[in-house]
Amino acid sequence: MNEALPDVPEVRVVGLPQLTSGFDLVERLDLPMHLKVHGPLEPLGGEQLAQLSERINLKGRGGAGFPFHKKLRSVAEAAIKRGVRPVVVVNGSEDEPACRKDTVLINRAPHLILDGALLCAEAMGARTLVIGVTRESTQRSMEAALAERGLSNGRRSALRARVQRNPVRMVTGAAASLIRSIDGGPAIPPGRKVSASRSGVGGAPTLLSNAETFAQLAIAARIGPERYGNTGLYDEPGTVMLTVSGAVARPMVIEVPTGVPLRYVLQLAGAPPNPQGVLTGGYHGKWIDAATVDEAIVSRNSLQVVGGALGAGAILPISQDTCPLGESLRVAQWLAEESAGQCGPCYLGLPAAARGLEDILNGGGPAALEAVKQVAKNVKRRGACSHPDGSAMFLESTVKAFTDDLAAHVLGNGCGRPVEGVLPLFEGGKAPTGIPGGGGEENGPSRQKIYVDWTLCRGHGLCADILPEVFQLGADGFPTVAQADVPRFAEAKAVRAVRRCPALALRIEEDTRGQAPSSRTNLPVLSQGRGRRALGR
């Protein structure tokens, strides 16, 4: 089984380092060492920054790839039009088990990221800077970097700067989730999609971009667009930070110029010479097959042409000795667990898609395959964030890339190969523990059970409408389960289902078997005698 990646794995570089300059000297570049390695940085005007970003074709390195110069101009125009100061947000959330490049940059070169963010803040007149992180190591490093620069969140500070720590969850990295948490809400996307450039933190125009994006801007501002363009491809100049794991001898983060053959990157990490497939872009990315690997080069456009994706910069090969559908099923199950639990097509559709993929592996035949395709199609563009879209893209790519293996499972008795767990997931399939929502109390196994009293149930079906995570109705219109665990995120809805059951046929109890006495307050238990009074309140 592949172990979870450490926060800071081995770091390599192809060619001359840019973002990783100085990594051979120290483990972490504090401010004095940062200035020795990179030199001072002169401020630039807003339009100068926009023109620089446009000339080097800088795009967001968090996965979406939106042109940075368009975002910069949009925020500046909205701020001027409304007469308010914009906010700058660095998204350092990196909550995918296969991604570590932003974590490496924050831990080892935090001042390079701050350089880019402060350039933008000064150029636009921003008075608020927030760095969003999810790991203890990145929080420590960035807070230390702010202190080294004398930046704080004090009311009298010319620039109020702080670190926002959120739970380690896939949806936490969504821009809307980060903005919502900065404003004091939960780190999940709101139901309404609003452009951060127009209305972000506190309703102000907000420049939000990925940590590597700001670091790339700082490099370009120092060396200029001409020198920056001397590295990599003419239409995608510069370097790219990649996280290479999966079936490799040495998982690593590597800085490479665009245009380097993907095969060479895989060889550096000790990948199999003839991988069965390579997942590009991470768990919201796409598979490319073995024949395509030799055609691919490291660039957004090239990977897209061959059916892959640069995405968040994760590259994961698998060998010929493992079942690709089984490996993908583990990821699909993890993606389903990472739903925020608030959009029906996502929190119902993704588990259904994972079950469908499992049915294929268990000999479900062509019907199971069609079910997976239909579910993946149905969840797209129907969520508050990109999680269902990215997960559906992963599932569709899996079905498309491994046709021979798929045929063996759908039409035969399976491929006969084991599932080795080479695609990294967090320990136990969960996120690291340590903060609420990060795999600890809120995401742990539920101790609450909901029960159906069949002597009272009349098949009204309201429980399935309120709590579809637990209840589904059978052909007779009655729930298909008599008792079930209540997911942590659905506890409030479970209480609502109990209170609104017209027949008072539901109750909630805490399962304390094998558990130490808990200080956690039990969910309300509504007995038959108290139910009508509760409904009347």
Q: Name the residue among 372, 387, 380 with its Cα closest to residue 341.
A: 387
* Rounded Cα distance, 278 and 307, in Å: 11
Q: What is the pLDDT of residue 518?
A: 40
Q: What is the pLDDT of residue 248?
A: 96
Nearest-5° Cα angle at 116, 111 to 119? 115
Sign of CA dihedral 43, 182, 78, 126: negative
Tokens of 272: 């199999």
CB atoms closer than 10 angstroms to residue 520: 10
- Sequence-distant (6+) residues with CB within 8 A of 145 are 30, 31, 110, 111, 114
393 neighbors 281 (Cβ within 8 angstroms)? no
Q: What is the pLDDT of residue 427?
A: 60
- Sequence-distant (6+) residues with CB within 8 A of 438 are 134, 167, 168, 169, 431, 432
- Sequence-distant (6+) residues with CB within 8 A of 405 are 323, 324, 325, 415
* Rounded Cα distance, 435 and 437, in Å: 6
Phi/psi at 85 (5° precision)? -85, 135
332 neighbors 320 (Cβ within 8 angstroms)? no
DSSP class of residue 259 equals T
Helices (H) and strands (E) in the chain, counts: 20, 13
Walking along the chain (537 residues) 10 residues at a time, the average pLDDT comes out as: 79 96 97 97 94 95 87 96 96 93 98 98 96 96 97 93 93 92 90 86 95 97 96 95 96 97 96 95 93 92 94 95 95 92 83 91 87 87 86 94 92 90 74 36 60 90 85 82 80 87 90 47 33 33
Please tell me the pTM assigned to this model: 0.81
CB atoms closer than 10 angstroms to residue 380: 17
Provide the 3-class DSSP secondary structure of residue 9. coil
Q: What is the pLDDT of residue 532?
A: 33
Tokens of 496: 């609502």
**H or E segment and range at residue 349:** helix 349-361
* 192-197-202-208 Cα dihedral, nearest 10 degrees: 100
